[in-house]
Structure 1
């Protein structure tokens, strides 16, 4: 199974979910060689619940993923914590939505959930917890207590960060940080546009249907990760198109 662990299915937080845009994301993911992704939309995006309402109308939900014509979309969300940082939470849809409802009063910067409280929720519901872009200057994770960071399942080597700060530098720095904490590293494109999908991928032997299976394979480090040789081209193109689309929305 080839999967991207950090993807967005909306152009931006302020826009509504569009099933046609979603289908373009999946099509581009398939064309890039992926057969699965983790949908980690921002938990405080506009009309968050509408994403699931629309997907429920179009695609069956099996185990921990939407079956989009044979392509697996594992359910998740990207959550801000009060002390600064983003955590990718991936798991069963019912459990995710339960946690999201508990966070209804924590969607603004002044009221974000505490990191330890989010860890407790994730552990209670057996979520896959990934520290998103842990060395990004604006939302790092390196300042957190190592004992809390060790409760994560992995860190995210982020496609956008590799594009901005250099592939070799980010790969070296994130892996070094992960070694200090004692966590594996998985790759996530952090895509907000279909063109961006496929910039990175993780390959597991066999097919997984549940997040528990993914957690186990990551813990055992039974996977390989890949960076596209055209990562910069894909992300540059996505940024240009995304900017034009966002400008059109303001007209």
Structure 2
């Protein structure tokens, strides 16, 4: 079995520089919470996205579709904003992630985000896992997009931050929407801060080395989604710590 969080971030926020020490604190906390793997889905328009990947390439071994970070598998990926609101998680080999990120360079500003259909077209045929992130979040919903286009995704994200904000009933709403589309649902902590790990977890029946293997396991239903009874405490503590850290960085500047 492999326990994995499919929506995580390696930086405190999009505006901060990548810190290897902070990233390692994230990885260690993930392991402390029983995770064997995470998908690093940093925002595609985060500050110096390529620099983050360069540092990961320099410091860690890469096998299959993941970095080996002190025994934790860190699958490469990114979170892409699409036009008319919505975020899509793309997980796959670092070469595909780098290539897609380069293609999206003209689409990093809010007024030029790529259309969802075009993003699907550009990623069709590649061994990638494509997930609709926090699909019913009020600020970035996916519910208004064309249903046939959404059906080209592999899954929707039951997001820990949304469960905290809207209540655990949000999980049922996402499941109903996914059932309507014929999609799977997976769990993502959406963590920018170590304390959030373990709030939601996917327990995959078989150990995976590539995004394609992971996709196959998920589509076959060979996994169980777990929502921690401590989710509210974990997310609230993480949000409070994130705000304190951001304030301390401003004071330092």
- TM-score, normalised to structure 1, is 0.98
* SS of equivalent residue, structure 2 residue 225: strand
> In 1, distance between residues paired with 2:126 and 2:50?
19
* SS of equivalent residue, structure 1 residue 124: coil
* SS of equivalent residue, structure 1 residue 72: strand
Question: Is 1:175–2:141 an aligned residue pair?
Answer: no
1:106-165 superposed Cα distances (whole Å, 9 cap, x missing partner): 100111011111111222322100000000011000111110010000000000000000
Report deviation, 1:237: 0.7
* SS of equivalent residue, structure 1 residue 250: helix
Which residue matches 2:228?
Answer: 228
Question: How is 1:54-73 mapped onto 2 (pairs within 5 angstroms)?
Answer: 54-73=55-74
Report deviation, 1:57: 1.3
> In 1, distance between residues paired with 2:219 and 2:207?
16
Report deviation, 1:206: 2.3
Report deviation, 1:250: 1.2
Which residue matches 1:106?
Answer: 107
Contact 1:122 1:128 in 2 (8 A): no
> In 2, distance between residues paired with 1:247 and 1:122?
38
1:188-208 superposed Cα distances (whole Å, 9 cap, x missing partner): 000010011111100012210
Question: Is 1:154–2:155 an aligned residue pair?
Answer: yes
Which residue matches 1:5?
Answer: 6
Instruction: Kindly report structure 1 stretches of 4+ aligned residues shifted beyond 3 Å.
Output: none
Which residue matches 1:243?
Answer: 243
Question: How is 1:79-158 mapped onto 2 (pairs within 5 angstroms)?
Answer: 79-158=80-159
> In 2, distance between residues paired with 1:62 and 1:160?
30
Aligned length: 250
Contact 2:9 2:191 in 1 (8 A): yes
1:61-106 superposed Cα distances (whole Å, 9 cap, x missing partner): 1110001132100000000001210000000000110000011111
Residue segments in structure 1 that go unaligned for 5+ positions in a row: none
- TM-score, normalised to structure 2, is 0.97
> In 2, distance between residues paired with 1:81 and 1:162?
23
Contact 1:79 1:88 in 2 (8 A): yes
Residue segments in structure 2 that go unaligned for 5+ positions in a row: none
